[in-house]
Chains A and B, each alone.
Chain A
Amino acid sequence: MTEDMIICRCEEVTYKELAETANKYNCSARELKLRTRAGMGYCGGRTCRNMVDKLAADLTDERQTQITLKYQPPIRPIHFGDLGGGQS
């Protein structure tokens, strides 16, 4: 696992950033996501969700119950126009 390997493709978050953030703040998966934006990209965590969960579990001590990242609506990218945009 090289340092500059991209974990979250949509937000271009590298393993280095995630590892540093997890070690510095000893954070859970959710906090890791909030701090680094890994999992907040266009694909909604489809690509990196498992990796961020695993990283948070591995790099921090197990004291807190490890809640994995949730599925944030909209579960599929949707254009605001489709939500009821400007039908002239």
Chain B
Amino acid sequence: MTQRIVDHPILGSIEEKEQVSFTFNEKEYYGMNGEPIAAALLANGVRTLRHHEEKATPRGIYCNIGHCFECRVTVDGKQGVRSCLTPLQEGMVIESGGTLPTPVKDWSAKNE
């Protein structure tokens, strides 16, 4: 947890909560209990939370207030979970979404 801001000039310092382990795409990570999943992954240096469904561009935290759904991941089999809002718990299995088989845009302008 090297990049974590532990002593913020305005917000003060965070009291060290107990460590919990979780997996993200079959890799083991550690984070603080109850912190947002996106924050735990960011502290571990993971910025890419998913890839775009059509063009596989890497996506991660954007609004960080649960508004834009860019940070959606699959947690314990449940899809579309906003990782910027979801508190981290022990033993969470997190999978990131990737490209889908059929593109949506094949019926666009050229089919008019």
Could you tell me which A residues sit within 8 Å of B by CB distance?
9-12, 21, 35-37, 42-43, 46-47, 77, 79
10 nearest A-B residue pairs (beta carbon):
A43-B69, A43-B68, A47-B68, A42-B69, A77-B80, A46-B67, A12-B55, A46-B68, A79-B79, A79-B80
A9 x B79 contact (CB < 8 A): no
Q: List 10 A-B contacts (CB under 8 A).
A: A9-B68, A12-B57, A37-B104, A42-B69, A42-B72, A43-B69, A46-B68, A46-B69, A47-B63, A79-B79
Per the bound structure, the CA–CA distance linking A9 and B72 in Å amounts to 14
Min CB gap A12→B, angstroms: 6
Q: State the main secondary structure of chain B at its contact with A.
A: loop
* Chain B 44-85 per-residue mask, 1 if CB under 8 angstroms from chain A, else 0: 000000001011010100110001111010000011100000
Per the bound structure, the CA–CA distance linking A46 and B62 in Å amounts to 12
B79 x A35 contact (CB < 8 A): no
Task: Return chain B residues, CB-CB under 8 Å to A46.
Answer: 67-69
Per the bound structure, the CA–CA distance linking A12 and B55 in Å amounts to 9
Min CB gap B6→A, angstroms: 32
